Amino acid sequence: MNWQALMTDIDRMFGWIPPWFIGLCLVAGAILLALFVYRIAVRLLNRAFGTRLPLISVFIERTAGPAQLALCLAAVALVLPLASLDDTIRAPLTRLFVVAFIALIGWISIRVVDMSAARYLQSFRDVTENFIARKHVTQVRVFKRVTDIIIVIITVSTALMTFDSVRQYGVSLFASAGAAGIIVGLAARPLLSNLIAGLQIAITQPIRIEDAVIIENEWGWVEDIASTYVVIRLWDWRRMVVPLSYFIEKPFQNWTRDTASLIGVIALHVDYRADVPRIRRWLEEAVKQSKLWDGEVVNLQVIDADSRTIELRALVSARNAPQSWDLRCEIREKLVAFIRDEMPEALPRERAILIPSAGDDAAFLRPPPDKMRASTRN
């Protein structure tokens, strides 16, 4: 087909219309045609392979944006040389085409990183009890987000450098450095510190996804590790957002750093007349009957004694933090019921000596005469 002859015929038919308008309509028509072709191709692929190969549908869904942009740019690249446009319109369109092409490369790079990360993490689905899975999920998420940020920065920088004014400004800015560089560095310090902290967390693993932590006197789980912050899912479903640098600079408790199993503590005050061995035997039987116990630790000790009561401490272990909490509550409730019903003498009580108001304390506390005579004979 002779494209030049076709364009000549079009010019004769629509000679009364400005050439630049025809050129813009030609570019817009090429874009619409590219989008129409994309939709037809997607429908054909889904009908042909969607049921047999579900991965094809997932791939098409995740690459929809870059694919449409690529087809539009290809259509514009074919039509733009044929459009009758003067330099005042062709130059901005060409510049826009270059910027869109750079954005397409960055978009494709981000999609490749996302799909590669998702493909790698498919074998690590259970992140609650599997420590290896939590380690890989944490590292991949942090590295993926840092990589995405780097790709975005490079893409935006490359696109801006296509403009002469911005490029000259950037060169002069880097050449001047000095106070402006110091101000920019100070302003970007929190962002940079959090990005570096994210890399440190990904490598050293002080926290992982679904780790149980105590931070700022709040207990929860690590729900998400972003590029600059961490989302903590608290026990009451609230969300605490903490900067990444916090976990590098300040102490916190990680209950699942090496293992999810935890030892729970149950403290109880009882009277001096309590039968501690009997309570210990009952505790061992009660814990063994609980489904929350992991079969590792059960113990009862007398850890303190004051003027009124003695303090007992029961240790029981569970598979993770939530089960440890539930086990402690269950055993505490049963222990209180056992002492109340089976050993009421062990309940804490107050002891007092009542002295008549008119009496003498020394005479009241003096032993009876018969006991004094017996003591003298001995």
For residue range 264-292, what is the model confidence (pLDDT) as tens digits? 899 999 999 999 999 999 999 999 999 99
Residue by residue, DSSP assigns 215-239 as ETTEEEEEEEE-SSEEEEEETTS-E
Distance in angstroms (rounded) separating the CA atoms of residues 235 and 300:
28
C-alpha R_g of the chain: 38
- The fold adopted by the segment(s) 193-254 is SH3 type barrels. (2.30.30)
Strands 239-243 and 293-305 come out as unpaired
Residue 208 has pLDDT above 60, yes or no: yes
**Residue 190 confidence (pLDDT):** 62
Least confident span in 18-32, 225-239, 261-275, 330-344: 18-32
Length of the chain equals 378
230 neighbors 200 (Cβ within 8 angstroms)? no
Q: What angle do CA 53, 72, 22 make, to 5 degrees?
A: 150
The confidence score (pLDDT) of residue 333 equals 94
pTM for the whole structure: 0.53
pLDDT in tens, 163-196: 766 555 544 444 444 444 444 454 455 666 667 7
> What is the average per-residue pLDDT within 316-322?
88
Identity of the residue numbered 261:
S
**Cβ(268)–Cβ(337) under 8 Å?**
no
The partner residues of 267 in beta bridges, in order of sequence, read 313
Fold category of 262-346 in CATH: Alpha-Beta Plaits (3.30.70)
pLDDT (tens digit per residue) in 50-88: 666 666 676 777 778 888 888 888 887 777 776 666 666
pLDDT band at residue 249 under the 50/70/90 scheme: confident
CA distance 319 to 172: 61
Share of the chain above pLDDT 90, in %: 20
